[in-house]
Amino acid sequence: MTVSDTRTLADDRSGDRACEILREGGHEIREREIVRDDRHAIAAVIRAAAANPEIDAIVLTGGTGLAPRDVTHEAVADLLERRIDGFGELFRMLSFEEIGSAAMLSRAIAGTLGRTAVFALPGSTAAVELGVRRLVAPELGHLVGLLRP
């Protein structure tokens, strides 16, 4: 899911890249959509996806910064039942190695909602490449296995 007021599926390079990396890792993409930068809209889409038994994980890109419209972190944080604090910590550490101190401005977050894993990453293609390739894709199968009954 891409969080943006300006992107469409036709020009969403970060979302395209996330899907490519996940497929390369053997994961199936069940749905793909753009949701506007609105806390309630983001939460509604996450809740609906988490209620779908065919969806094991939700990967969001965009809206994790500190600009006034960046509300993805709050929308996700409000819904998580269990946080995966190491995700944000590792993302910022890896990001620091690439971009320096600006990494501290990222509010990447992950956790679980019911039996669904939820990951929220910054919207830049470089951030998606880093987070999905280095963190999400390698551990997703294991995490999903832990969440299944």
Task: Map out the domains of the chain with their CATH numbers.
Answer: 2-147 (3.40.980.10)
The amino acid occupying position 40 is H
- Dihedral over Cα of 49, 24, 138, 74: its sign: negative
- Token pair listed for 121: 């990453």
Classify the phi-psi angles of 26: left when phi > 0, otherwise alpha if psi is within -120 to 50, otherwise beta. Answer: left
What is the b/e burial string over 134-145, where b = at least 16 CB atoms within 10 angstroms of the residue's CB? ebbbebbeebee
> H or E segment at 94?
helix 85-99
* Per-residue pLDDT of the chain in tens (149 residues, 90 and over written 9): 999 999 999 999 999 999 999 999 999 999 999 999 999 999 999 999 999 999 999 999 999 999 999 999 999 999 999 999 999 999 999 999 999 999 999 999 999 999 999 999 999 999 999 999 999 999 999 999 999 97
Enter the DSSP assignment of 92.
Answer: H
